[in-house]
Amino acid sequence: MNRTVTDHADSPFWRAGWSAAVQRPSEGFHKNWALEGFADQTVRQIVRVTGSGTSARIKLSHRYGTTPLEVSGATIARTGQGAAEQAGTVRRLTFGGADTVRIPAGGEIYSDAAELSVAPFDSVTVSLHFARPTGPASFHAQAYATTYRAAGDRLAAADPAVFSETTVSWYYLAAVELTDGAPARDDTVVVFGDSLTDGFASTVDGNHRYSDALAERLADRGTPRPVLNQGIGGNLLLSDSAWFGERAGDRFRRDVLGQPGVRSAVVLVGLNDIGFSEVELPTYRPNPDRSVADLIAGYRELTGMARAAGVRVTGGTIMPFKGAEYHTPAAEAKRREINEWIRHAGEFDAVADFAAALADPADPDALAPAYDSGDHKHPNDAGYRVMAAAVDLVAL
């Protein structure tokens, strides 16, 4: 490790590589292991970084734990195919010099630095062994990336076939940070919001969320920057949800302003506040009927926090959702009014007009068929690329 690097959480040398917003354990919409947790099992998770460095560390979050969490061992490596790791790249992670660590309920911890050269768009594998029962796991529900599980301590397993169980969620892993030993730059971009940011309906293991496409655009322009995705499927601007995380106003300071080197953010949230009140589903509660004035106050809360922190914010217009389960005339009227406010009120430093970019020219209240994943509110991979193209790179 470069001698100038320190392992303190607030070290000026660490850059963003990858992160995910951590959620309370729940059943979610996909099979996951959050409620059951782990016991004498190894979990292997794969993430694609958008930063670079010669050393890496991870952040583990036990935010929603009620008893201490024991991590019996951890490794990081560059990823091969599936659950395989590239030969010669596996590094044992330590915590304050020890192979094991105990994280208090509600706490988080950084590993020590491990020498590992990583370039933008490399995928890294983080493996965690839990010898003792963990209880329910803090996690990120909709990863759209495969996570693997095996019985026993399989940190050193070279044969990926031992990881025979899979889900598409991440567990305890909140960040991968990188350094090359030089002081980090304040150039991180954070995309923030609900499932439209999280990448719902994008191809599993394809890295086709709009945040991925945005990072690729920046690199293609010759200005590569870390792009972190802090979306949570189902997230609400104004209401907390047991399934879909704390409201955006409560998590913005932690999930956006708390990221290393954050310079700008793209905010796209509010669709669920509009739509959930139009249907009665257990997962869509709380579902109060929010007014446009309520939502505008919520957006101003976010921009006020960002402005105080010196972070630029691009506001994303809410995309069409005609044909979705909660599209009604009342919901559509709110969407139109809010979008006009986002475009013209001057509250944001810039606007990404996602609505205009993805609308069907023949029916602007609906997604263009070429960009519709099939549920009439979430884009497909092509739609996510169009979203990324709608972001003004200069404004970032």
What does the pLDDT look like over 196-242, one tens digit per residue? 999 999 999 999 999 999 999 999 999 999 999 999 999 999 999 99
**Which whole number is the average pLDDT over 331-352?**
98
Residue type, 66: T
What does the pLDDT look like over 304-326, one tens digit per residue? 999 999 999 999 999 999 999 99
Q: Does position 257 have pLDDT exceeding 90, yes or no?
A: yes
What does the pLDDT look like over 148-171, one tens digit per residue? 999 999 999 989 999 999 999 999
Confidence of residue 4 (pLDDT cuts 50, 70, 90): very low
Confidence of residue 116 (pLDDT cuts 50, 70, 90): very high
The pLDDT of residue 159 is 94
**Which whole number is the average pLDDT over 298-302?**
98
The pLDDT of residue 10 is 60
**3-state secondary structure (DSSP) of residue 347:** coil
Nearest CA to 387 among 332, 314, 324? 314
Strands 165-167 and 147-151: antiparallel
DSSP 8-state assignment for residue 392:
-
CATH number listed for the domain at residues 15-178 = 2.60.120
Q: Does position 128 have pLDDT exceeding 80, yes or no?
A: yes
**Which whole number is the average pLDDT over 260-271?**
98
What does the pLDDT look like over 35-89, one tens digit per residue? 999 999 999 999 999 999 999 999 999 999 999 999 999 999 999 999 999 999 9
Confidence of residue 3 (pLDDT cuts 50, 70, 90): very low
> Range(s) for CATH 2.60.120 in the chain?
15-178
What's the mean pLDDT when you consider all of the chain?
A: 95
The pLDDT of residue 7 is 45
The pLDDT of residue 5 is 38
Confidence of residue 333 (pLDDT cuts 50, 70, 90): very high
Nearest CA to 323 among 374, 282, 357? 374
**Which whole number is the average pLDDT over 181-205?**
96
Which of the following CATH numbers is that of domain 185-389: 3.40.50.1110, 3.40.50.1100, 3.20.20.450, 1.20.1560.10? 3.40.50.1110
Confidence of residue 30 (pLDDT cuts 50, 70, 90): confident
DSSP 8-state assignment for residue 145:
S
What separation in angstroms does the CA of 317 have from each of 1, 263, 338, 359? 44, 21, 8, 11
Contact 173, 18 (CB under 8 A): no
> Range(s) for CATH 3.40.50.1110 in the chain?
185-389
Residue 39's DSSP bridge partners are none
Confidence of residue 134 (pLDDT cuts 50, 70, 90): very high
The pLDDT of residue 12 is 74
Q: How far apart are CA 258 and CA 174, in angstroms?
A: 12
Confidence of residue 31 (pLDDT cuts 50, 70, 90): confident
